[in-house]
Amino acid sequence: MPEKEKVYLGRCDTYNLTELKRCFEEGLDLLGVHPEGRMTIKPNCVLAHPKAAPHAYTRPEFLDALLTVLETRGKPQGPIRIVERSGARISTKRQFKRAGYYTLRKKHAVKLEPMENAELVKVKLKNAKLHDEITVAKSLVDTDFLIYTPKFKFNILVNAITGALKLNIGILDDEERMMFHDFRLDQKIVDLYEVGKPHLIAVDAITAGHGGSQLTSQPYPLGLVIMGTNSLAVDVVSNAVIGLDAREVGHLVETHERGYGPIDLSDIELVGEELEFFQERAKDFDRGFVRVDKFKTSMNILIGDGYADGDHGYCMGGCHGITLDALLMAKDRNPHNPMKARSDVTLVIGKYEGDVTAKTVIFVGDCSEVKGTLKAKRTVRVKGCPPTHRDLLVALALDAGLYPELLRMSITIPQIPYMLPKFLTRIHRPQAWKTNMELLKHW
């Protein structure tokens, strides 16, 4: 009978260095893991901002303790590399700085590698369903010991906790990142596991993210460190903490069906603290998911078939989910924001079967359309399948008066070359000028 995959649960109520080191040392011992050789860490740092996104990234204290243990208990060869790729064409170097990662160089022999500045290699996939090859940082594949440190947070694009498996989206460049990021997202995530297969996973679940977008979610005190050596086993346990059955999560089922690990808790050996203790702690954890057309906002939101091939369905990983994510971003720091949007704006997501009458209609995605009669003074299309968060957030601000905290001047200044043409095409519209004033208010 094959040996069960082990997953470690450790209690750590704060980001105290001593307590974190204790958890990491205990976890390594109970898992029987001995890190050595050239080491690479892939954190979760898509977005880091002290006000707009304070709970979206792996904390530097978490990495500090892990690095300390790797240096004292392991046998690292050369500097330990920390590799990441931010999303939405935002500078990874800037996110590293906001996250406090550069301070790690004062204590440890580390090399920070924003993927856009790293040496890249193309890797052919043998068992993938969607990708023939992907482009990744060389240090992610040319390494002896790969470590993933995901942030414990709920992601409405897969309607689950996204831990080690979905962290692989961050190994791609922007173009490949958005490929198949639609109803095929589950398959895409599992394709990437062929390359992004870590030797150790350590989940930062001390302060978790819940109740909104995975980028701007609210803090939830969970006081937990999760460790393991199999990504699927770790993600199964992570979702079990909030009471979610892994067999209800598409990409976990897909991963199991491709033979990459166990999906039932009975096939996983839990070591460390009791799972039930953390399940009790997580009893008020808010998943934040609603259908996008049920989201409370002053705009009118109409949805239809979201699949380009004509199969009826809600495209959770695509336009429907991306739009909900953007709306949650507006709500997370100010619950009243969505009700301040323009009421004369209608969002159409997918192929809507009825008639639409509105002053402004915003079509989200390439395949969105009105099958019935359309009466509108103005129409706007946010292109993409799905659109990027950046494109959608800017359109919602300039055309609908919806201002998420992410659209603050300190974040958008590097995006001026992108945003200026968008503004100039709307320069005759009062809404565009109002948006600029809002950006200046939120530095």
pLDDT digits (tens, 9 = 90+) for 347-392: 999 999 999 999 999 999 998 999 999 999 999 999 988 888 888 8
Question: For residue range 145-175, what is the model confidence (pLDDT) as tens digits?
Answer: 999 999 999 998 898 998 999 999 999 987 8
| One domain, residues 344 and 426 | yes
* 229: Cα within 13 Å, side-chain hemisphere: 17
DSSP 264-301: SGGGEEEEES-HHHHHHHTTT-------GGGS--SSEE
3-state secondary structure of 355: coil
CA distances from 252 to 70, 101, 325 (A): 29, 30, 21
**Domain annotation covers residue 346:** yes
Mean pLDDT of 342-348: 92
Give the CATH number, domain containing residue 193. 3.40.50
User: Looking at the 3D structure of the chain, how many domains does it have?
Assistant: 2
Q: Is the pLDDT of residue 443 over 50?
A: no
Question: For residue range 212-236, what is the model confidence (pLDDT) as tens digits?
Answer: 888 888 899 999 999 999 999 999 9
Instruction: Give the Cα separation of 205 and 197 in Å (integer).
Output: 20
What percent of the chain is predicted at pLDDT more than 70? 88
| One domain, residues 246 and 317 | no
pTM greater than the 0.75 cutoff? yes
| One domain, residues 14 and 93 | yes
- Closest among 64, 51, 46, 37 to 333, alpha carbons compared: 51
Of 249, 281, 313, the one marking the end of a domain is 281
Strands 5-11 and 218-228: antiparallel
Instruction: Quote the DSSP letter at residue 146.
Output: E
| One domain, residues 261 and 385 | no
| One domain, residues 296 and 272 | no
**Domain annotation covers residue 95:** yes
Question: For residue range 389-434, what is the model confidence (pLDDT) as tens digits?
Answer: 888 888 888 888 887 655 555 555 555 565 556 656 665 566 655 5
**Domain annotation covers residue 287:** no
Question: For residue range 235-276, what is the model confidence (pLDDT) as tens digits?
Answer: 999 999 999 999 999 999 999 999 999 999 999 999 999 999
**Domain annotation covers residue 160:** yes
| One domain, residues 413 and 378 | yes
| One domain, residues 64 and 163 | yes
Residue range of the domain that includes 21: 5-281
Instruction: Give the Cα separation of 351 and 422 in Å (integer).
Output: 26
Instruction: Give the Cα separation of 238 and 236 in Å (integer).
Output: 6
Instruction: Give the Cα separation of 84 and 169 in Å (integer).
Output: 10
Instruction: Give the Cα separation of 179 and 384 in Å (integer).
Output: 10
Contact (Cβ atoms closer than 8 angstroms) between residue 42 and residue 198: yes
Rg (C-alpha) for the chain, rounded Å, is: 22
- Closest among 168, 96, 94 to 136, alpha carbons compared: 168
Of 226, 246, 281, the one marking the end of a domain is 281
**Domain annotation covers residue 51:** yes
| One domain, residues 147 and 216 | yes
Instruction: Give the Cα separation of 327 and 333 in Å (integer).
Output: 11
**Domain annotation covers residue 204:** yes
| One domain, residues 221 and 328 | no
| One domain, residues 267 and 306 | no
Question: For residue range 194-216, what is the model confidence (pLDDT) as tens digits?
Answer: 999 999 999 999 999 998 888 88
| One domain, residues 144 and 43 | yes
Instruction: Give the Cα separation of 301 and 160 in Å (integer).
Output: 24
**Domain annotation covers residue 154:** yes
| One domain, residues 345 and 226 | no
**Domain annotation covers residue 308:** yes
Question: For residue range 90-149, what is the model confidence (pLDDT) as tens digits?
Answer: 789 989 999 999 999 999 999 999 998 889 999 999 999 999 999 999 999 999 999 999
Of 281, 316, 338, the one marking the end of a domain is 281
